[in-house]
Each structure stands twice: as structure tokens, then as C-alpha cells.
Structure 1
Amino acid sequence: MADQKVEIYDETAGEKLSRKMRESPFVVAGVVGLMAACGHGAYKYKHRGAMSTSVYLMQLRVTAQGILIGCITVGMAWSMFNQLLKHKKPEQ
């Protein structure tokens, strides 16, 4: 343990974002989709018709969560698929 050196440094927000994008791009895509759904919902709030505010916000929340969970699920499936291919031994 004494031979190992651990470098500790502070990451800037940009460095952390770029590292997260490399490690798990589907999570970042999910967060971007979540923010897009919230932005779209805020824009369309005035044109909701006779729908009550609470029902509109619940539907918006379900849509935003669905986008995020969908991206995370696709990312997990992609990761599992890549791990399966990496551990597969070539036939002789």
C-alpha cells in the first residue's frame, strides 16, 4: 500500500461533465432529454386548455421521468451488450 501514490485534484465542472460523458453517455442524454421535456412543458403551459394545473404537472413529470428512465435503460442494455461481446472468446 505504501508504494501506491494517489493523486487528488479538484475537477472543474467542465472536466467532470466530459468525464461523465465518456463513462456513461446515455445518462447525460437522459438528463438533456429531461431538461428538454421540462422546457417544452413550461412553454406549453399556457396552452393546456381546460386541464387543471396539477394534472398537467403530473403528466409532465411522468413524461420527463419516462425519458430519463428510457435513456438509462438503453444505456444499461448497451453496456451489458458490450460486456458480453468483450468476454466472448473467439471460436477455434
Structure 2
Amino acid sequence: MSSNTDVSLSSYDEGQGSKLLRKAKEAPFVPVGIAGFAAIVAYGLYKLKSRGNTKMSVHLIHMRVAAQGFVVGAMTLGMGYSMYREFWAKPKPK
């Protein structure tokens, strides 16, 4: 058995904060989606007490759909932004 020590393990040396910042720069709409999801969940929990006579299951379904819709919207915008950067904003080679 031979051991190959030439393999770069730089991604394992990276801390959680720096990894999150690097990923946020690569795909800027991912943190937006996470923040929006967290905000909708927090709002849903806040409004849980004052939902009136709406059933709990209906309230939870509405909050789930809103959170999923926000995340899918952020993913769609992120994909559009990525496609724009890769195909249209890149200077044409001469």
C-alpha cells in the first residue's frame, strides 16, 4: 500500500465562517433564500397565536407554501443571475 501525501486538503482546513462567505460569493442568492425562509418561519410562529379561528393545519400549510415559494423564487433568481454572468456578461473572446 502506498500513501499519496500530495493530495491538497485545503478545503478541509477552511473554517465554517470562511466557507460560508466563499459559498455566498459564488452563489449570492443562497443566503437570501435561507434568510427569507427563516423570516417566513419566524413570522409564522409569531402569527400562530393570533390566527383567529383558522385551523392549525391550514395555518401551517400556508406558512410552508410561503416558505417554499420564497426559496424556489430565490433559487430561480440565482440561476438566472448565474446564467447571465456566464453567458451574457462575459466578454466575447476575439
Pick the TM interval, shorter chain: 0.7 to 0.9
Distance in 2 between the 1:30 and 1:89 partners?
32
In the alignment, what sits opposite 1:54? 57
Which amino acid is 2:50 matched to? H
Q: Contact 1:37 / 1:63 at 8 angstroms: preserved in 2?
A: yes
Q: Deviations over 1:32-76 (max 9, x none)?
A: 000000001101111111110011001000000100110010010
* 5+ long unaligned stretches in structure 1: none
Question: Superposed, which structure 2 residues align to 1:1-92 within 5 Å?
Answer: 6-8=8-10, 9-86=12-89, 89=92
* 5+ long unaligned stretches in structure 2: none
Does the residue aligned with 1:20 lie in a helix, a strand or coil? helix
Q: What's the Cα RMSD here?
A: 2.1
Higher helix residue share: 1
Q: Percent identity?
A: 42
Cα offset for 1:10?
Answer: 2.9
**Alignment size in residue pairs:** 89
